Structure 1
Amino acid sequence: MGSSTFLLFSYSVVLSLATLTLSDDVYFEHSCNEIRGNYTANSNYQGNLNSIVSHFSSLTEFNYGFFNLSAGVSPDNVNVIALCRGDLDQHQCNTCLNYTATELERFCPSNKEATAWSELCLVRYANRDMYGMLENDPRTCVYNLANASNPRKFNQALSRLLNDLKSKAAAGGPLRKYAAGNATAGNLQTVYATVQCTPDLDKRNCTTCLTYAMSELQKCCYGRIGCRVLRPNCVCRFETNYRFYNQIAVPLPPSPTTSSPTSIGGNRNN
């Protein structure tokens, strides 16, 4: 993919999930794709995009936090991939997707293709099919400014933990590819981590995406006590001395099936 515009920052104050509200989400990141074309105000494309974004606040199907939505027909069709963190319930997921998609439209008011990551979910939209496609861009990394007391031992423990979580997430079925866990990282520090792929990826591509993410994490965040690597198809995050995720994720059905694309009512051309 071509050049993108990033909002990128490092965070030095750790906010717990219990106190963080979506209206002041310091974890929000976005990328507006400048080469995939623009839409005009009040166009069919904007109408189709708005119809999907407005749908997020009233989703009745939980679908275990993953959505593949579409509206309209070519050349004004809009496709959306949306993913909530694997430990969220439906209300938390709907709230995050509605917030993140609305903010993304605000930050990228005319771009046909854009991506946003927030504390609890990611949203992508484009005028092309993205389902099942492993993509390298856009991507970014945000980290805590504080350093671990023993970076070498800390990163050894972190690497073992992330490799274990990567295997578990990649082995997940077509509804959810998510894993969370913790490890002792020296000097009585506990590191907590989550990894997740969009479940439209197969096992091999999920493994590849998380391998890339972990490689970027080593370059961007070596020795830091907290970091997030954000990619179009997967995310990787760790924090030290506080658990930022729920211990128990919403259970999956006994025999999960592949998620099907959902068409949202939008503008249709003659």
Structure 2
Amino acid sequence: MGCSGLFLFYWSVIVSLAAIAFADDYDNYFLCRYVEDKGNYTANSTYQANLNRIVSQLSSPTQFNYGFYNLSAGQSPDEVNAIALCTGDRTQVECNSCLNRTATELMQRCPWYKEATAWSQFCLVRYANRDIFGQLENEPRTCAFNPKNASNPEQFNDGLIELLNNLSNIAAAGGPLRKYAAGNLQTIYAAVQCTPDMDEQNCTACLNYGREELSKCCKGRLGCRVLRPTCILRYESGPFYQTAVPPPSPPPSPSGREGLARAPAPPKLLKFNNFFYFF
């Protein structure tokens, strides 16, 4: 092999290794959307400094909080409010990694907008220059689907509708700290989740909108993700979720009788509470 041949061989090896490293670091599920009419911020502005503070907090949260974070930085008119949510089956290490990468990539790929949302495989991150906590939001939104179609689409859709209806009811009925459900019906696997700042009515509404959107975007597809600011729906033809992280046990009542004491009111940095897993 001549010098040119050796060069091409080693160059191909280097490119291949770089591609593998990039693939390990890149989330193919990442999508971001911005709200154009909410305004822009400029480089080195106070808003950008506050946004950087938010991203720094999400990069390495010291508390797990069962994957839900409600953060703010700065004061009006440059205040930044953010919500971040990991899927209910992720550990603290997995959640921290997803939030770090997603928040950083959101600023890089949807820059200069004061309101934006990003969804990755295991988490979502959104920020705005207004109060977004507890607000049912319809925009921005998107969906992504598997290009392959089910071999028997009518039967597949019937099973999917039944599964998503059951999961949506369970998730919406979750407590104020966790609204997540996952399970399967034969070979259809699905998971739904609302940000737990949604009450039962708003979570139900968000998931209903999501199922309507799913029927338009993904009908008959073997897999799909419907991504909204306050809820997500996903289904696949094979398993994609883990056993969910168990919630904390409720504190005992003063009388010593278990199961009757109410959990304390959630702080601003919220934790998950009720956990539901549907089979």
TM-score range, shorter chain: 0.7 to 0.9
- Superposed counterparts of 1:81-96, under 5 Å: 81-96=83-98
Maintained 8 Å contact 1:175/1:256: no
TM-score, normalization: structure 2? Answer: 0.82
Structure 1 residue 57: Cα displacement: 2.2
Aligned to 1:261: 268
Shifted more, 127-136 versus 52-61: the winner is: 52-61
Aligned to 2:34: 32
Pair 1:135 & 2:145 matched: no
Cα pair distance change 1:198/1:139, threshold 3 Å: same
Aligned to 2:17: none
One-letter amino acid matched to 2:111 = P
1:235 alignment partner, SS class: strand
- Superposed counterparts of 1:101-250, under 5 Å: 101-184=103-186, 190-240=187-237, 242-250=238-246
Which has the larger Rg? 2
Maintained 8 Å contact 2:116/2:127: yes
Maintained 8 Å contact 2:71/2:83: yes
Please give the per-residue CA displacement for 1:162-202, whole angstroms capped at 9, x wherever unaligned: 00000110011111100000002xxxxx0100000000000
Please give the per-residue CA displacement for 1:151-170, whole angstroms capped at 9, x wherever unaligned: 00000001000000001100
Structure 1 residue 258: Cα displacement: 4.7
Q: How far apart, CA to CA, are the structure 1 residues paired with 2:264 and 2:101? A: 28
Structure 1 residue 249: Cα displacement: 2.8
Q: How far apart, CA to CA, are the structure 1 residues paired with 2:122 and 2:137? A: 21
1:68 alignment partner, SS class: strand
Structure 1 residue 138: Cα displacement: 0.7
1:253 alignment partner, SS class: coil
TM-score, normalization: structure 1? Answer: 0.84
Q: How far apart, CA to CA, are the structure 2 residues paired with 1:223 and 1:207? A: 23
Maintained 8 Å contact 2:33/2:116: yes
Structure 1 residue 256: Cα displacement: 4.4
One-letter amino acid matched to 2:45 = S
Aligned length: 237
Maintained 8 Å contact 2:39/2:113: yes
Q: Which has the higher contact order (CA 8 A, sep 6+)?
A: 1
1:156 alignment partner, SS class: helix
Pair 1:47 & 2:49 matched: yes
One-letter amino acid matched to 1:223 = G
Maintained 8 Å contact 1:88/1:250: no
Cα pair distance change 1:222/1:168, threshold 3 Å: same
Cα pair distance change 1:101/1:78, threshold 3 Å: same
Maintained 8 Å contact 1:68/1:81: yes
2:37 alignment partner, SS class: coil
Higher strand share: 1
Please give the per-residue CA displacement for 1:70-128, whole angstroms capped at 9, x wherever unaligned: 00011110000100001111111111011100000001221111100010000000110
Aligned to 1:16: none
Q: How far apart, CA to CA, are the structure 1 residues paired with 2:246 and 2:138? A: 29
Please give the per-residue CA displacement for 1:195-237, whole angstroms capped at 9, x wherever unaligned: 0000000001101100110111111111110000000100000
Maintained 8 Å contact 1:170/1:204: yes
One-letter amino acid matched to 2:164 = L
Percent of paired sites with the same residue: 61
Q: How far apart, CA to CA, are the structure 1 residues paired with 2:266 and 2:126? A: 17
2:174 alignment partner, SS class: coil
One-letter amino acid matched to 1:260 = P
Higher helix share: 2
Instruction: Supply the RMSD in Å over aligned alpha carbons.
Output: 1.5
